[in-house]
Structure formats: C-alpha cells, structure tokens
C-alpha cells in the first residue's frame, strides 16, 4: 500500500474517532437545554468532564495529519472554509471553558449553561455545514462569505447536530439512572428516526448530484457489494430503537434496565455513524477536496510521510491503549457527589 | 496603513497567539510544581505538600483549560489565514506538529482526566504517575512547538523544490541552530513564571496569616527555585543573544537599537526612542561600549546594525527594542526579589517583612509579561520574514476578503476579552478561598483507600439500593 493512501485512511480514522468521541460530548451540550434542573445539568457535565479534552484532541490530530501529509489540502480546505472553522473554534472555546467555570461559579452558573449549550450547538452545526460544503463542492477562497450557505449545507448542519445529540443520548443511557436515563432514552428514540431520515436524504443527494458518484454506487456489481452499508445501518437503528424502548419500559415499571439494553444503543449508534462515514468515503474517494484535489496530488514529499510513520505506528496504538484505560477507570454510572480535584 | 486582509490576518494571529502563550507559560511550570509537591507528600507524608498540590490543582485546571481552547485555534489558523505558508512549509512543519499531538497533546489530555478527577479511583502511586505524565507531556509539547518555531527563525536541513520546502535532514530541522537556546530559555521561563505566581499567592496569604504553613512552604520553595533559576535564565538568555547575533543580526540590531551598518564600541542603551524614518535614536541613555562587551566580549567589538539591510528588510524597531528592555528589566527584578528573600532568610524575617511580602505579591504577572515581551522580541524581530531570509510574511497570507478576517478578528477580541476577565475573576476567587484545611484534607486524600473513597462508596450504595449495574 502506498504511503499517501495510508495517510488518507489515517486521516479518515482520525475524523471518525473525532466524530464519535467529541460527537457524544458535543451531544451532551446540545441536549443541555432539555434538562432543566441544575442537578441534571451537573450530572450531564460530570459525565464527560474527564474525557472532553482527550476527545477534542482528535480534531487537532486530524488537522495536523492534514497539515503534515497533505499540506495543499490543509491550505485549501481551511482557507476555503474560513468562517465555519472560525465559528466552530469560537463555539469550542465557549463550551470548553464552561467545564472549568461552571462548577466553580455561583451567580454566573446560568451563563455557563448557556455557553456550554450554544457553544456545543454552534460547533456541531459548523461541522455539519463544512461536511455539506465539501460534498457539494468547495467555493473559491475569495468568493462571497455566504456562498457556503445553501439549503443542502444548512440541512447537513442540522443533521450533524441531531446526530451528535443521538450519540449524547445513548451515552447518557449508558452513564446515568432514573429520570435522566428515561429522558435520554425518550429523546434518543426520536432522534434515531430523525438521523436515519437525514442520512438517507444526504446519501441520496450525494449520489444524485454527480454522475460519477452515481456510477460508483449503481454500476454493474457495485449495488450488491455496497448494499450491506445501508442495510446494516437500518438494522442497527432498529435495534437501537428497540433497546431504548426496553430501557423506557423497564424504568416505567420501576425496574432497573438490563445493562445490555443500557450499553448497546451507544455502540449501535457508533456503528451507524461508522457506516455513514464509510458511505461518504465510497462516494468521495480519492478526493480530499472533491472536484479539485485528490490525496495523491496533495501528498507531501515522501521524506515527510516516512518521518511521521514511526510516530504514527508507535503512538497511535499507545494513545488508543491509554485512552481505553482512562475510560475504564471512570467506567460505570456517573455518581452525583463531588468527586475530583 | 490600509487594513487589508493580510494585515488583519497578522493582527489576528498575533492576538490569538499572544493570548494563548499566557496559559502554557503558567501550566508547564505549575504542572511540574504540582508533581513535585505530590511526590514530596508521598515521600514525606507531610500533609502541607498535599495541601499545596490540592490547592494549586484548581488554578492549574482553569489555566490548562484556557490553554487548550486557545491552542486549538492556532493549529487551524496556519491553514485558514496563512494558506500559502502552510502549503510551502507543510512538509517540514506539519510532521513536527503531528509529533507534538502524538507524543504530547494526547498524553496530557489522557492523563489530565485522571489527575483532576481520579483522586479516589486510582492508587496514590498511579495518581502521582498521572500527574508526572501530564507534566512531562507539557515539556514534550514545548519541545516540538519550539522546534517548529525555531526552524522558522533559523531554517536548516531543507531543500527548496519548486518554491516548496522539503526535508533533507530531520535532525537538522529539529535541532536547528537556535532551537536548543530557545527551548532552554522558554522552559526556564515557564518554571520561573509558575514560581512567581505561587510566590505572589503565598505572599498574599502570609500578609493575612503569617502562620499559614501552606503559604510559608510555598513562599520558601519558590524563592529557592527563583534564586537558582532566575540568574540561570539571565545566563541562558545571554547565550541565546549570542546565537541571535550569529544567525539573525538584524533582529539583534533592533533589540539593541544599532543603526550604522557596522559599529564598534557599541553602547548599551538603557533607554532610547528609536526612529525608523530618521534611522537614529532619540533621548539615548547609554553605557559606552557595554553592548560590545556583552555580545563580543570585547569593549571595541563590532556589531551589525540595521542599515546593513534595506529598509524593507527591517522589523519594527521600537517594538522589538522596548519589548527586549521590558523582558530584561523584569528579569533583573526577579533576581533582586530572589536575592532579597535570601538575605531575609538569614535574619529569619522572610515571612514577616511586610515590604518584601508586598512586593512579592505584586510579582504574580511579571513572569507572564516577561514571556510575552520575550516572544515579541522573537517574533516581531523576525519580520518581515516568516521563514527567516526565505519567506516574507506578506507573500503567504490567504487571499481572503478583508471583511471576513475583520469579522473573525472582532469575534476573537470580544471572546478573549470576556474570557480573560472571567479567568482573572476565577483565579482571584480560588486564590482568596485559600487551601483546603488540614482536617478535611483527609477526606480527599489520594488513592482508593482514602476515606473519601469509602464515603463515595457508601453514598453510591445508599442512594440506589436496587442498582442493577454490571
């Protein structure tokens, strides 16, 4: 396998890790306004306060892999998507500092609630907008600021917000109990429907907008080979919905839900997201900026790619190992007493 | 000067990077101090060390959080605002940044969760390990960032192919001529900055309660650290200056306010107002020959001046000149405070001399200001080049419409102004609150056998008797 392809796949892996990991904690922020009691808000924030920093690091990792392995794509994408990136960063700033300041605040708590929720929504929406802009074709850097805003990009923006909220719900079902769990399961059921419809529409739009992408999905044997992607996604979404229904039924009957029904929805949501991402990859490969730049054209000289290779080979497995270890230390339900520093 | 997108992009980068550096310059040193205190507690079991670690971890956490969120901005700003720069230097700088994230950023983030929230979930040794890992992570992070920055100052180990940089030798790229000096200077600066913050806070507490064991220990320890590191920093700074003389003579000329193309017996300017149009200084207060002596070790030594290069190749002289003097002046003040502290120790008046404690409690921001001033010397002194002698800053800015950059710059100024006020408010609040008292400290001791853990366990069982957790 050539090195440029390896880095293309590594970049994909980094983005997917980011979308899943920061997806669920941005999702918690998006759900914030729907949990009214301060105690519930405490609980939501406490469930992710030890992991959000590590999760967000995958965004930086994706950025630097793009910078180091595909400098011209880094330059083109980031300057072309200037405003959504800047707004996303501002959103991430507000939600990031809310973790630190909310628990230390007395009178300003309501403002940190707002900063956390609106920052998370803004960041997620901008990411969706960028996804839409990349699929529909990047505008020129010097063109008007508002060309990025189209019905399609607005739709992908809201779709990503809904998707992250779904991940957040399934994470909460896993990490919380009683009322919060019931609420998360209820919203999760609605959101999984919204997300599936949104994914179907975005997929259709992507396939229909370009003859090339259409051919990739529907010529000769391709539909048979690719059919598992949507089919497995639909099956997973259905299972997710059923698990959440069981969690709700148990809670209503006053029972503690089975831990399989509590934990599985999160992993099913991860599978749905992964399949969606693979589908996107099928449509866009080998482009980094569709219609403009492929990963082969954008690749850095081999001296740079080789230099990063030992670092990636040694440290990515190590990072995954200690990240898992960190999650294991905080495994189980979130407890509502003051714990920490 | 017209406010085109290039100027706005440069202002935005300068503003966002200046804001960012405030926080790591505190946290790198503070993480190290917290690790030292936690280690001393485990070794001596003296609770005052745990008190120090527990007290400082809160200011550390909010400072670290500010550093994280403002740092993410920078990793994207190369591409958004300096797209041509990213394209031509990406093959060199990108891998360095990738190594920073792989070896440091993930490490800090991964272990920070355990350091902050894992007190009752892991053993005392493992918690100490997590704290040390965070501290080492911050050093590794500094290593890569300084390597990348230094390469832009003194580029080495590269080929230029079709206007783009490719790497000939990674060793020369990373350990480029200015890198060892800048790295030692910066790491020392962070230890000094954090020590000054701790010193000032301890002094502030001592003025209210002269018996506070926690404040006495903090004051005494940081004064010993400053007594060693502040003079050492002056020495390393001198070596760094000699390195600048060799590799970036024009920057040195701006730092010292030297105008003639070659000048011997150069005076050391204590004060002056450099005039870039008239190419001379006004209101000079000078010590004859001293600059030559310091930089060439000879009273008659010759130095390169600004007129050796065309006007277009000179940095903004007054900014570099004054920044340098602010940094050096504050450095001398730090040495003076450390020495004064040593003298007071001999008469046993260290914790009671109100003048000394008063001055010390005002030293809190001096480290940060000196770091900022130092970086202005480094970065403004490099202009008009982005990669020294090779790439001009104005040639590699993204072709963005000015109003778009103006909008983002406005947002950053508003956001950062609010956040900085908030940061100072919470720092003040945490510092005024003082340390956890020794009696309740037992409840949040380190490790799974701590009473806090038992309390937590009982609560967990008590609150949800029918819990069906796996």
- Contact yes or no for A86 and B408 at CB 8 A: yes
Phi, psi of A320 (to 5 degrees): -60, -40
Of residues B419, B428, B76, B107, the one with CA closest to residue A75: B76
Q: Which residues of A touch B57 (CB under 8 A)?
A: 341
pLDDT in tens, B394-424: 889 988 888 899 999 999 999 999 999 999 9
pLDDT value of residue A336? 65
CA distance A324 to A54: 11
- Are B370 and B327 within 8 A, CB to CB? yes
Of A68, A89, A177, the CB nearest to B76: A89
- Tokens found for residue A331: 């495994």
Mutate to test the interface with A, among B66, B113, B406 (most CBs of A within 10 A): B113
How far apart (Å, rounded) are the C-alpha atoms in residues A204 and B45? Answer: 65
pLDDT at A223: 87
Question: What backbone torsions phi and psi does residue A203 show, to the nearest 5 degrees?
Answer: -60, -45
Q: What does the pLDDT read at residue B447? A: 54
For residue B210, name the pLDDT band (cuts at 50, 70, 90): confident
Contact B98 A67 (CB under 8 A): yes
Mean pLDDT (whole number) for A164-186: 93
ipTM: 0.90
Residue for token pair 């529907």: A218
Given an 8 Å threshold on Cβ–Cβ distance, is B116 in contact with A50?
Answer: yes
Nearest residue, CB atoms, A60 vs list B72, B117, B466? B72
Bridge partner residues of B263 (DSSP): B303
Mean pLDDT of the residues in chain B: 89
**Optimal mutation site among B4, B74, B86, interface A, most CBs of chain A within 10 A:** B86
Q: How many CA within 13 A on the CB side of residue B288?
A: 1
User: pLDDT tens digits, residue range A65-98?
Assistant: 999 999 999 988 888 899 999 999 999 999 999 9
pLDDT tens-digit map of B259-273 = 998 888 898 999 999
Tens-digit pLDDT profile for residues B91-104: 999 999 999 999 99
Q: How many C-beta atoms surround the C-beta of residue B362 within 10 A?
A: 13
Query: Residue B446's pLDDT is what?
Result: 54
Preferred mutation among B68, B137, B420 to probe A, highest tally of A CBs within 10 A: B68
Chain A closest-CA separation from residue B127 CA (Å): 12
The contacts of residue A274 (CB under 8 Å, 6+ apart) are A16, A20
Cβ of B411 and A86 within 8 Å? yes
Alpha-carbon distance B317 to nearest alpha carbon in chain A (angstroms): 31
pLDDT attached to residue B380: 95
Alpha-carbon distances, residue A24 vs A91, A161, A179, A324 (angstroms):
16, 11, 19, 16
Mean pLDDT of chain A: 90
State whether residue B148 is helix, strand or coil.
helix
In Å, how far is B117's CA from the nearest CA of chain A? 4
Interfacial B residues in 113-132 facing A (CB < 8 Å): 113-122
Contacts of A93 in chain B (CB under 8 A): 69-70, 73, 415, 419
| B248-262 pLDDT per residue, tens | 999 999 999 999 988
Given a contact cutoff of 8 angstroms between Cβ atoms, the answer to whether A94 and A117 are in contact is: no
Q: What is Dmax (Cα atoms) for chain B?
A: 86
Please state which of the ranges A106-115, B62-71, B313-322, B453-462 shows the lowest mean pLDDT.
Answer: B453-462
- Say if CB B170 and CB B159 are below 8 A apart: no
Instruction: Kindly identify which residue of chain B lies nearest to residue A61, measuring between CA atoms.
Output: B101
Bridge-based pairing of strands A287-289 and A293-294 is antiparallel
Percent of chain B with pLDDT over 90: 70
pLDDT band at A103 (very low <50, low <70, confident <90, very high): confident
What pTM does this model have? 0.90
CA-CA distances (angstroms) from residue B26 to A167, B64, B188, B421?
Answer: 35, 9, 11, 17
Neighbours of B91 (CB within 10 A): 26
């Amino acid at each position: 396998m050539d090195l440029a392809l390896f880095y293309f796949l590594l970049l994909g892996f980094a983005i997917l890790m980011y979308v899943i990991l920061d997806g669920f904690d941005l999702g918690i922020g998006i759900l914030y306004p729907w949990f009214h009691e301060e105690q519930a808000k405490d609980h939501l924030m406490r469930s992710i306060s030890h992991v959000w920093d590590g999760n967000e690091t995958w965004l930086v990792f994706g950025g630097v892999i793009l910078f180091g392995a595909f400098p011209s794509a880094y330059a083109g994408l980031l300057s072309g998507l200037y405003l959504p990136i800047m707004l996303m960063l501002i959103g991430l700033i507000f939600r990031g500092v809310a973790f630190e300041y909310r628990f230390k605040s007395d009178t300003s708590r309501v403002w940190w609630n707002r900063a956390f929720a609106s920052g998370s929504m803004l960041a997620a929406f901008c990411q969706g907008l960028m996804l839409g802009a990349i699929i529909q074709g990047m505008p020129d850097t010097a063109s008007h600021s508002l060309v990025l805003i189209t019905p399609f990009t607005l739709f992908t923006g809201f779709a990503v917000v809904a998707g992250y909220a779904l991940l957040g719900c399934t994470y909460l079902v896993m990490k919380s109990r009683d009322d919060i769990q019931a609420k998360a399961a209820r919203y999760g059921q609605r959101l999984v429907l919204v997300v599936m419809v949104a994914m179907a529409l975005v997929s259709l739009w992507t396939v229909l907008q370009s003859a090339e992408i259409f051919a990739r999905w529907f010529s000769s044997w391709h539909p048979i080979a690719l059919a598992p992607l949507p089919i497995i996604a639909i099956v997973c979404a259905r299972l997710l919905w059923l698990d959440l229904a069981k969690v709700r039924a148990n809670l209503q009957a006053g029972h503690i839900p089975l831990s399989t029904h509590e934990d599985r929805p999160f992993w099913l949501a991860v599978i749905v997201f992964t399949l969606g991402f693979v589908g996107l990859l099928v449509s866009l490969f080998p482009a980094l900026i569709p219609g403009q730049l492929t990963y082969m054209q954008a690749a850095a000289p081999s001296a740079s790619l080789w230099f990063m290779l030992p670092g990636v080979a040694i440290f990515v497995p190590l990072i995954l190992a200690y990240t898992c270890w960190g999650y294991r230390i905080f495994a189980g339900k979130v407890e509502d007493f003051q714990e920490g520093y | 000067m017209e406010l085109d997108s290039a100027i706005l992009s440069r202002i935005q980068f300068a503003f966002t990077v200046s804001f960012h550096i405030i926080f790591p310059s505190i946290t790198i040193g503070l993480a190290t101090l917290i690790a030292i205190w936690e280690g001393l507690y485990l070794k001596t079991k003296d609770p005052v060390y745990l008190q120090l670690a527990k007290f400082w971890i809160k200011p550390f956490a909010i400072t670290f959080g500010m550093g994280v969120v403002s740092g993410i901005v920078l990793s994207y700003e190369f591409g958004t605002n300096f797209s041509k720069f990213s394209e031509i230097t990406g093959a060199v700088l990108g891998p360095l940044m990738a190594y920073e994230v792989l070896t440091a950023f993930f490490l800090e983030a991964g272990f920070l969760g355990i350091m902050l929230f894992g007190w009752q979930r892991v053993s005392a040794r493992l918690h100490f390990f997590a704290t040390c890992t965070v501290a080492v992570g911050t050093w590794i992070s500094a290593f890569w960032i300084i390597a990348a920055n230094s390469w832009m100052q003194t580029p080495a180990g590269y080929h230029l192919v079709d206007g783009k940089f490719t790497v000939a030798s990674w060793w020369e790229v990373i350990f480029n001529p200015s890198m060892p000096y800048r790295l030692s200077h910066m790491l020392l600066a962070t230890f000094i900055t954090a020590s000054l913050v701790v010193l000032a806070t301890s002094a502030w507490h001592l003025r209210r309660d002269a018996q506070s064991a926690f404040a006495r220990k903090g004051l005494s320890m940081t004064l010993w650290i400053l007594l060693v590191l502040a003079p050492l920093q002056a020495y390393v700074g001198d070596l760094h200056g000699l390195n600048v003389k060799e590799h970036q003579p024009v920057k040195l000329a701006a730092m010292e306010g030297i105008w003639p193309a070659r000048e011997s017996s150069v005076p050391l300017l204590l004060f002056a107002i450099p005039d870039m149009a008239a190419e001379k200084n006004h209101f000079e207060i000078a010590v004859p020959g001293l600059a030559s002596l310091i930089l060439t070790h000879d009273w008659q030594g010759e130095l390169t001046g600004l007129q050796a290069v065309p006007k277009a190749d000179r940095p903004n002289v007054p900014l570099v000149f004054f920044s340098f003097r602010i940094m050096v002046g504050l450095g001398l003040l730090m040495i003076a405070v450390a020495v004064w502290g040593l003298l007071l120790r001999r008469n046993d008046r260290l914790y009671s001399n109100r003048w000394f404690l008063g001055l010390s409690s005002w030293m809190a921001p001096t480290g940060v200001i000196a770091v900022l001033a130092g970086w202005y010397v480094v970065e403004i002194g490099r202009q008009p080049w982005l990669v020294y002698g090779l790439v001009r800053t104005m040639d590699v800015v993204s072709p963005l419409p000015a109003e778009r950059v103006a909008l983002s710059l406005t947002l950053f100024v508003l956001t950062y102004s609010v956040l900085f006020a908030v940061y100072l408010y919470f720092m003040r609040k945490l510092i005024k609150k003082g340390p956890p008292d020794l009696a309740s400290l037992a409840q949040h001791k380190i490790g799974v056998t701590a009473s806090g853990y038992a309390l937590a366990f009982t609560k967990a069982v008590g609150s949800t008797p029918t819990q069906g957790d796996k």
